[in-house]
Amino acid sequence: MNKINRIIKIAGIFLLAGIIAGCDNFEDINTNPDTITRSSASMQCTGVILANLKFGGRDAQAYLVPNGLSKYIAYVNEIQMAEQYNRLTTGSFDAMTILPNIETMVEYATGTPMEDSYRGLAKFSRAFMFYRLTMRMGDIPYSETGQGIAGNYTPKYDAQKDVLIGILDELKEADAHFAKGVKFEGDPTPYAGDPAKWRRASNAFALRVLMSLSKKESDASLNVKGRFAEIVNGGNLLEESTGYLGLAYTSVNMHPLSGTNDLFTSRTLVGSLLVDEFKRLNDRRLFYYAEPARQALDEGKTGSDFEAYIGPDVSRDYTTLTAEYLTGAYSALNLRYLRDQASEPRILVSYAEQELILAEARILNWITSGTAENYYREGVKSALKAQMNTNSAYAHGMAINQEYIDNYFTGEAAFKTTPDEQLKQIRMQRYILHFMQDPEVSYFEYRRTNYPVFPINPGTNLNLNNPNSIPMRWMYPGSETNYNRDNLIEALNSQYDGSDEINKLMWILK
């Protein structure tokens, strides 16, 4: 019996050896032919786009946080929202984890008909990601990022000026690649892989970057005005028919606030800064953004009455705000955000914002084509049309229609006569655009223009080192102290007198 077992074992060994020898790769006999074992440019493309454009926070509360920072809302749940009261802590470099995926996408695309399109997307995606990081913190690792495979785990920090020049150069490269591109696969945005639309959006985003550099327009090495005019004269900008760059919410990819009606989000109030502006402009977007105050309804007002909407000063003491909310004194967030899975799309680059940026540029004499008034009107009309496309069942009988849009520019909404007043109008309309969309942009714009005027209450301000002001930046990630300390110290010394503090002014703001 033992001899037979030995013979069987020996035969089995030879048989296994023969099988292995007959295969070029042992994995060939252990791979399920019905599974995907190798990625592709299109698969990487989807991940890269979502990493940049999809809301990446942990929950609905995190979605509200940047709206609190930009003074759109007051939060009156079980605890106060620190950002509403100007508490900023450390930022994060986690967004840089997109870089290997970008490189892999380009690698897989090389030599294919879609190569230029994917290279354009790679350049845009890098620019979009790095811009957000430098606007949050200042100098950041840029030129030496993504070199971990080569053994560089401690990248130097590039000066913010150099980072922004690099971003603008990458966006110019994106324009050139998209110009030669063909329709590409893996794009989850409404553009569906159309390189012409991506080209236009990339150029519109470049205009936003350049406008954020308005304090540096006299710097010859930056050539802000020249770059801006070159893009405008090139003609490849967003048209209203292009649509927005962003993501559509669906029953699968639901709006982050949907389904939270009975939880903390129902205790989100729309602040007085926004509510009072809508009243002043006779702007019906108010009815899409907020609910009427319960006290106002009890007093006989209707939901279609502008005066039924009351926004709190978001800097008021949290305990006082909460008590006043419980009496029905204030307007809460419109219920469509909490009930609809697709209350509105996520819009990150739009024709409306582009036109408002062009309006400001015309007043600043950066461009000579068009008029500031026409750009202003085009931008606002586009924003109103986008609102008209949302569910009017939540508009409290004050739906936006084409007739309303055609007659919008009267009273306080009519274009003003002096440049200072015109700039305030334009900047306020940009502020309105980013409510529940990309509200951090409004914080960046506030730092640049000091408008609109954010409420500041020294008694509640969590900016303890400067209670009479809004903080100017996030601090660097704590992990940098442990893993990239020397470069961090050098960056702090060159920018902020060695102190990683939230009130320090980064280069772009000086």
pLDDT of residue 11: 38
Q: For 488-509, write each residue's pLDDT tens digit.
A: 999 999 999 999 999 999 999 9
Q: Which residues are paired to 245 by β-bridges?
A: 349
CB 445 within 8 A of CB 69: no
Q: How far is CA 105 from CA 37, 126, 181, 186, 189, in A?
A: 16, 13, 15, 11, 17
Nearest-Å Rg of the Cα atoms of the chain is 26
Confidence of residue 17 (pLDDT cuts 50, 70, 90): very low
Residue 160, phi then psi, degrees to nearest 5: -55, -40
Tell me, what's the pLDDT at 463? 98
**pLDDT for residue 244 is more than 90:** yes
Give, as one character, the DSSP assignment of residue 270. E
Tell whether the model's pLDDT for residue 28 goes beyond 60: no
Cβ neighbours for 396, distance < 8 A, ≥ 6 positions apart = 287, 292, 302, 303, 304
Q: Tell me the per-residue pLDDT of 93-123, one tens digit each, with 9 for 90 and over.
A: 999 999 999 999 999 999 999 999 999 999 9
| pLDDT score for 148 | 76
Residues 29-35 have a mean pLDDT of 39
pLDDT tens across 413-438, in order? 999 999 999 999 999 999 999 999 99
The answer, yes or no, to whether the previous bond of 467 is cis (omega within 30 of 0) is no
pLDDT score recorded for residue 152 = 86
CA 327 vs. chain centroid, Å, equals 35
Is the model's pLDDT at 126 over the cut of 80?
yes
The pLDDT of 359-374, averaged and rounded, is 98
Distance CA 299, CA 291 (A): 15
pTM of this structure: 0.92
| pLDDT of 261 higher than 80 | no
Confidence of residue 322 (pLDDT cuts 50, 70, 90): very high
User: Is 105 within 8 Å of 121 (Cβ atoms)?
Assistant: yes
Please, what is the Cα angle at 339 between 336 and 341, to 5 degrees? 95
List, in sequence order, every residue forming a beta bridge with 75; answer none if it has no partner.
Answer: 268
Amino acid letter at 90?
A: T
CA dist., res. 467 & res. 461, Å (int): 5
**Res 396 pLDDT > 90:** yes
Query: Mean pLDDT of all residues in the chain?
Result: 92
**Separation of alpha carbons 379 and 389, rounded Å:** 16
Q: What is the 3-state secondary structure (H, E, C) of 292-326?
A: CCHHHHHCCCCCCCHHHCCCCCCCCCHHHHHHHHH
Encode pLDDT of 206-218 as tens digits: 999 999 999 999 9
What pLDDT, on a 0 to 100 scale, did the predictor assign at position 153? 87
pLDDT value at residue 387: 97
Give the lowest-confidence range in 4-8, 143-147, 263-267, 457-461.
4-8
Contacts of 499 by beta carbon, 8 Å cutoff, 6+ apart: 492
The mean pLDDT value for 154-160 works out to 97
pLDDT at 21 over 50: no
pLDDT at 29 over 80: no
What pLDDT digit, counting tens, does each position of 52-104 carry? 999 988 889 999 999 999 999 999 987 899 999 999 999 999 999 999 999 99
